Amino acid sequence: MTTSPDAAASAVAQPDPGSFRDPLSRVFIEGDHVWRGLSGAAVEDVEALFASSFFPAALQRGDIVATERVQPGDGVPSLGTDWPGLLRHERIGVLSYPYEWAFEMLRDAARLQLRLTREALSERLITKDASAYNVQFVGAKPVFIDVGSFERIRSGEPWPGYRQFCELFLNPLYIQAIANVPFQPLLRGDIDGVSPPLAKAIIGGRGRFRRGTFTHVRLHARVERRYADADKERDIRGELKRAGLGPKLIDAQLRNLEKAIESLSWKQQQSTWSDYSDRSHYTDRDLEAKEQFVAAATTTDASGGLVLDLGANDGRFSRIAVGAGARSVVAVDSDHLVIDRLYRDLRNEGSTAILPLVLDLANPSPSIGWRSQERPSFVERVRPDLTLCLAVVHHLALTNNVPLDDIVQFLADFDGKLVVEFPHPDDVMAKRLLARKREGLFDSYTVATWEAALEQRFTVQRREDLPSGTRTLYHCTPR
């Protein structure tokens, strides 16, 4: 993590739109660098953090984002104001958010939050919050990024992150594990997470005997109803402080939460696309030609770069892209179960090259939060060198009724090279979808119409019909 002092002198870092909630520890972005300005109080907390034994060990494991202390003038750009302390962090390649994670990803992020908090507690430190947004994924590895969250423990006070942990980790996991209700739409709909009363309403009587639901959901919801206003909530905090809540009781609470997390699993075994990996509608020759096409395009356009795989399913072509030289791949699919399975496989392999995410291409993650800027949209966050759009166009066009022109514009929004597959109207999968539609409604779904739309925004470098003759691959550059 080095920066030229001359270049930094004229550079101006921009405040990260998601870091304003902690004025003691603000984050700024400048090029490939992430800077953190620390207030006087935060400097003292960071000094205690760097003096601990758990922090360097967590850095070494990669559990916490690479971080170093820097001095003014040490390659630091203008941060708009003088800060008593400064940190420099390694920048995460692609940011993802909890409403784009599969069940097991959120569970691993929760494990990391609790583990680091317990390790900090053993050295008289604590995390002052427990936001799921404090965790990012590098491939299949969760990484804690909010170093400013650590502070020295205050005598007699409870863990400040308990409520937030429940709303952004535990409750979403409960509702999916117990009620089989996806948590992603709920987290996308409320940046603060799933409240205890809402979790209680969704779970109903089904989780009555599940570990922790009485304490963390039902009792929590009852207390929230009773102390609905902020003044009464502060009274609860005062009562806990006066009761002399110490590190041992906090650690017991954290261990209880760990047990609750470990007791959860998502039992769903089958979904719409969970058996797609057999690809029986492709001939062996088609698959071989498609793999070679993708590998060649990756080598040409994304060697050492980022590939976005839209409709990745089991990650077959994401792996081919990595094998052809891509540094990293973002593999997205709308099917929660196939992404959960892909994540488990990648985690078992120890892979940090492929980031699997849950994303509906017909309704991708928008910008949310304060001024609709706190959490940027998926398209804003992901700027690939090469986008793969394989076996997707016919679903967007024939299932979601998206015009071919609009599909091309969506692909152009990523502002990179493109490999896209177009199933012809006589393709077995396209025919199946067309058979469900009113006659004449999709007469414009033709190769000629598609190619005319594609050439409005891209230059086709290479075009190849698969051996079966019912699908065409295009390798394109944006105009």
Q: Do 171 and 193 form a contact (C-beta atoms < 8 A)?
A: yes
pLDDT at residue 284, as a whole number: 92
Of the listed ranges 94-103, 208-217, 262-271, the least confidently predicted one is 208-217
Nearest to 399 by CA among 372, 361, 348, 357: 361
Q: How many other C-beta atoms can be found within 10 angstroms of the C-beta atom of residue 346?
A: 23
135 strand-pairing partners: 144
Q: What is the DSSP letter of 372?
A: G
- Residue 322's H or E segment, with its range, is helix 316-323
Q: What is residue 280's predicted lDDT score, i.e. its pLDDT?
A: 58
CB 122 within 8 A of CB 128: no
Strand partners, 332: 310, 357
Q: In the structure encoding, which two tokens stand for residue 144, read together? A: 């804690």
What average pLDDT score do residues 387-413 get? 96
Q: Which residue has the higher pLDDT, 434 or 474?
A: 474
Across 257-286, average pLDDT:
75
- Average pLDDT for 145-165: 94
Confidence of residue 436 (pLDDT cuts 50, 70, 90): confident
Torsion of CA 99, 100, 103, 109, to 10 degrees: -80
pLDDT at 244 over 60: no
For the beta carbon of residue 28, count every other beta carbon within 10 angstroms: 22
Q: Report the CATH fold assignment for 276-478.
A: Rossmann fold (3.40.50)
Question: Which of the residue ranges 3-12, 201-210, 286-295 would you say has the lowest mean pLDDT?
Answer: 3-12
Give the pLDDT mean for 466-474: 97
Give the confidence band of 268 by pLDDT, cuts at 50, 70, 90: confident
pLDDT at 232: 47
For residue 380, pLDDT over 80 is answered with: yes
Q: Are the C-beta atoms of residues 237 and 227 closer than 8 Å to each other?
A: no
* Residue-level pLDDT at 448: 97
Contact 14, 33 (CB under 8 A): no
Pairing of strands 328-333, 354-358: parallel
pLDDT in tens, 291-329: 999 999 999 999 999 999 999 999 999 999 999 999 999
What percent of the chain has a predicted confidence (pLDDT) above 90? 79
- Give dist(CA 113, CA 423) in Å, integer: 44
Confidence at residue 237, expressed as pLDDT on a 0 to 100 scale: 55
* Statement: residue 438 has pLDDT above 90: no
Distance CA(171)–CA(165), nearest Å, equals: 8
User: With contact defined as beta carbons under 8 Å apart, do 266 and 176 qualify?
Assistant: yes
Per DSSP, 158 falls in state P
pLDDT tens-digit readout, 328-366: 999 999 999 999 999 999 999 999 999 999 999 999 999
**Percent of the chain's residues with pLDDT above 70:** 90
* Predicted local distance difference test score (pLDDT) of residue 15: 92
- By the 10 Å C-beta count (0-12 exposed, 13-18 middle, 19+ buried), 170 is classed as buried
What mean pLDDT is reported for the chain? 90
What is the structure's pLDDT at 156? 83
Higher per-residue pLDDT: 201 or 205: 201
Q: State the Cα–Cα distance between residues 178 and 346, nearest whole angstrom.
A: 25
Least confident segment among 35-49, 62-76, 209-223, 264-278: 264-278
pLDDT for the residue numbered 440:
74
Q: What pLDDT does 5 receive?
A: 46
Predicted confidence at residue 7, as pLDDT, reads 47
Q: What is the mean pLDDT of residues 117-137?
A: 97
CA–CA distance, 435 with 281 (Å, rounded to integer): 17
DSSP line for 42-110? HHHHHHHHHHSSHHHHHHHHTSB--EEEE-TTSS--B-SS--SEEEEEEPPSS---GGGS-HHHHHHHH
pLDDT bracket for residue 204 (50, 70, 90):
confident
Q: Where are the domains of the chain?
A: 11-90, 98-262, 276-478
Q: What pTM was computed for the model? A: 0.91
Alpha-carbon torsion 42, 46, 52, 53, what sign? positive
pLDDT of residue 180 exceeding 50, the answer is yes
pLDDT of 89 above 70:
yes
Token pair belonging to 166: 């429940």
The pLDDT-based confidence of 8 (bands split at 50, 70, 90) is very low
Amino acid at 430: A
- Three-state secondary structure readout of 222-251: HHHHHCCCHHHHHHHHHHHHHCCCCHHHHH
| DSSP run (H or E) holding 421 | strand 417-423
